Amino acid sequence: MDNIHEIPLQNQQDCWAMLYMHLCASMVEYCGQRAKGAIREAVRRLSEDRGRTLRESHLAAGAKTNLKTLYGGFDCLPDPRVRQTILAETDQVRLWEVYTCPVADLWVKAGHRDLGLCYCEEYQHALLKAYTGGKAQVNLSALLTCDRDNHCRFSVYYRRANLSDAQLKESFSEPGQSGSEVVPTSPSFRDGLNALSIKTYYYLLEVAEERFGKDGVVAVTAGLRELAAALAPVLKTHADDTLNTCDRDFLRENFPLALETDSESLWAQYSGHNAPLLLQVNLLDRLKKALGLS
Kindly list the residues in this chain that would bind other proteins in the complex (CB under 8 A).
Answer: 33-34, 36-37, 40, 87-88, 95, 121, 125, 137-142, 148, 153-155, 157, 159-162
Task: Please identify, using beta-carbon distances, which residue of 137 and 173 lies nearer to other proteins.
Answer: 137
Closest CA to 260 of 238, 229, 293, 237: 293
DSSP-derived secondary structure letter, 261: G
Task: Please identify, using beta-carbon distances, which residue of 37 and 292 lies nearer to other proteins.
Answer: 37
Beta carbon of residue 161, minimum distance to other proteins (angstroms, whole number): 4
Q: Contacts by 250-253 with C-beta closer than 8 Å and gap 24+? A: 251/291, 251/293, 253/8, 253/190
Beta carbon of residue 288, minimum distance to other proteins (angstroms, whole number): 36
Task: Please identify, using beta-carbon distances, which residue of 159 and 289 lies nearer to other proteins.
Answer: 159
Beta carbon of residue 215, minimum distance to other proteins (angstroms, whole number): 17
Task: Please identify, using beta-carbon distances, which residue of 110 and 140 lies nearer to other proteins.
Answer: 140
Task: Please identify, using beta-carbon distances, which residue of 61 and 168 lies nearer to other proteins.
Answer: 168
C-alpha dist (Å) from residue 242 to 1, 15, 232: 14, 17, 16
Beta carbon of residue 8, minimum distance to other proteins (angstroms, whole number): 33
Q: Which amino acid is at 147?
A: D
Give CA–CA dist 172/66, Å, rounded.
Answer: 7
Beta carbon of residue 120, minimum distance to other proteins (angstroms, whole number): 11
Task: Please identify, using beta-carbon distances, which residue of 160 and 236 lies nearer to other proteins.
Answer: 160
Beta carbon of residue 203, minimum distance to other proteins (angstroms, whole number): 16
Give CA–CA dist 78/82, Å, rounded.
Answer: 7
Q: Give the per-residue SS3 of 21-62.
A: HHHHHHHHHHHCCHHHHHHHHHHHHHHHHHHHHHHHHHHHCC
**Exposure b/e, 85-119, CB count within 10 A at least 16 = b:** eeeeeebbbbbbebeebbbbbbbbebebeebbbbb
Task: Please identify, using beta-carbon distances, which residue of 14 and 41 lies nearer to other proteins.
Answer: 41
Beta carbon of residue 79, minimum distance to other proteins (angstroms, whole number): 22
Closest CA to 290 of 241, 253, 236, 243: 236
Q: CB–CB of 256/15 below 8 Å? A: yes
The pair phi, psi for residue 255, each rounded to 5°, is: -130, 130
